[in-house]
Amino acid sequence: MAATYVNNLRVAEPGNGDANWGVTTNSSLEIIGEALGIGSEAITTNADTHTSTVADGASDQARAFHLKYTGTLDSACTITIAPNTMKRVQIIENATSGGHSIIISQGSGANVTILNGTKKIIYLDGAGSGAAVVDVTTASFGSQAFYLPAGSTGNRPTGVAGAFRYNSTTSEFEGYTDAWGSIGGGATNVSLTEATGNGSTTAFTLSTAPGTENNTQVFLDGVYQEKGTYAVSGSTLTFSTAPPNGTSIEVTGFTESSVGTPGDGTVTLAKMAANSVDSPQYVDGSIDTAHIADDQVTGAKLANSVDVTTGVTVGGASNGVAITNGQIALKNSGTVSKLDFYCEQSNAHYTRLQSAPHGSYSGNVVLTLPASDGDASQFLQTNGSGVTSWATVSIPASAYNVWLVKTGAFTAASGDQLVCASGSAFTITLPAGSAGNTVIISNAGAGLVTIARNGSQKINSVAADGTLPNGNSTQLVYTNDTIGWFQV
């Protein structure tokens, strides 16, 4: 009986009495290994559509768990993964050139858009002609909410227009157009329009006219849509392709608030905040000492220099700045004291030194600076008693050896990183392992690489050698005598 290919990986299942069952089984096992690896498939230059059909019982890049699409695009490309009865989870990477999205589809159901330079975890539901593709991350949180990537300012990824994240340093949402910037705040009105697609309607009326696509964020079933997939005219938003039937459509619009200017002579004293009148409102010569409160004369009204013999206090003895005999004391009325050093360009930026909060102290802290400026690349360290000195960073040795390219039999050492590049089969023998030893092997050649055990030491708890087909990589870590070398 001939083999069948009805499973989700399209590997051969030998039939009863199949004379080649051994060959078929070995081929199937190799294909299963391929399905757990990384594959790459090129799209025809500037193609608008592309089909990846996973071959029955034969090696195919589209079978890989992590599938990377390459090629050059001049517009978004819809990729159909076939057959439409195949059910599985994949990581899809858009590694194309040109800055355009790819749209992953399996049938007439929902699809998933992947921005250029990004990856998504998706699953194919294999429902036949109506098959849908689902964004696993979005689906896991339902329609009530979804979580954004979060990280500090220093963790920002390379910017891609339309990217959206939460900045844990500033505690703000931020987005990227041509630079990272905070989203929200200021005099802005936010409107929400919700609708449901029917598979044919492309134009939808918004609750407020946003003025331009740049003032909108559009989500279909919780998936962000690029600005190039729709246009805005007045209060009408028109999609280039009608959203599928039953698709949840959510449009957030942003418009500026209008702040009116009062007419001349219409602002009364009751409408003015205390202490809000500045000098242009006073008649020359109308201010006398009776109208100047204590401690209210600014530095601009003083002589160019002030010579204080003993000491001076600005702001009060308990919450001001005291300068006396080579010592500066910065006190406050409930917030930690700060010292700001401003730049030379219109005081646009500053570097701040500030005290730790009260609860962090167990006593006063005194830091003594070194008597030199140190050497290049040194850092300032303390001896634990407040005395600082310059020190040089000690860089630990690497746990890995440099990459080696091998074309014939070789016995590896712990820490080796090997690239096998031969058209013929050959053997890499593992070293005698100790706990924590590791070896990385990658097969870039056409020949099958055998990974041989060292003596009686096992691989993945089995006393048998392993194989590494073309295009596959593995890292092995020696665990103990029971497990031996474990594949991570």
Q: What's the full length of the chain, in residues?
A: 488
Residue-by-residue pLDDT tens, the chain, 488 positions: 566 665 666 666 766 666 666 666 777 777 787 788 899 999 999 999 999 998 887 888 988 899 999 999 999 999 999 999 999 899 999 999 999 999 999 999 999 999 898 889 999 999 999 999 998 866 555 545 666 777 788 888 888 888 888 888 877 888 898 888 877 544 467 889 999 999 999 999 999 898 888 889 999 988 999 999 999 999 999 999 999 999 999 999 887 654 445 556 667 777 677 776 766 666 676 677 666 777 777 766 666 666 666 667 777 767 778 787 778 888 888 888 888 889 999 999 999 989 899 988 898 989 899 999 889 888 888 988 889 999 887 766 667 899 999 999 999 999 999 999 999 999 999 999 999 999 999 999 999 999 999 999 999 999 999 999 999 999 999 999 999 999 98
Give CA angle at 397 (392, 402), nearest 5°.
Answer: 135
Cα(105)–Cα(84) distance, integer angstroms: 9
- Reading the block at residue 205, the tokens are 């009326």
Q: Which of these, 347, 335, 444, lies nearest to 40 by C-alpha position?
A: 444
Number of neighbouring beta carbons within 10 Å of residue 206: 19
Which pLDDT belongs to residue 174? 87
Q: Where are the domains of the chain?
A: 21-139, 187-256, 403-487
10 φ/ψ angles, rounded to the nearest 5 degrees? 60, 35
* The pairing of beta strand 66-70 with beta strand 38-42: parallel
Q: Cβ of 200: how many Cβ atoms within 10 Å?
A: 8
Q: How many CB atoms lie within 10 A of CB 103?
A: 18
| CB-CB neighbours of 438 under 10 Å | 18
Distances 125 to 55, 63, 79, 108, 240 between C-alpha atoms, Å: 18, 15, 16, 12, 26
Residues 430 and 476 sit within 8 Å (Cβ to Cβ): yes
Helix (H) or strand (E) segment spanning residue 123: strand 119-124
Q: Summarize pLDDT for 378-411 with one digit per residue, the tens.
A: 888 898 888 999 988 776 666 789 999 999 999 9
Interval 9-21: pLDDT, tens = 666 676 666 666 6
User: Residue 254 in 3-state DSSP?
Assistant: strand
* Residue whose C-alpha is closest to residue 99's, from 77, 122, 67: 77
* Topology classification of domain 403-487: Jelly Rolls (2.60.120)
Q: Are strands 473-480 and 484-487 parallel, antiparallel or unpaired?
A: antiparallel
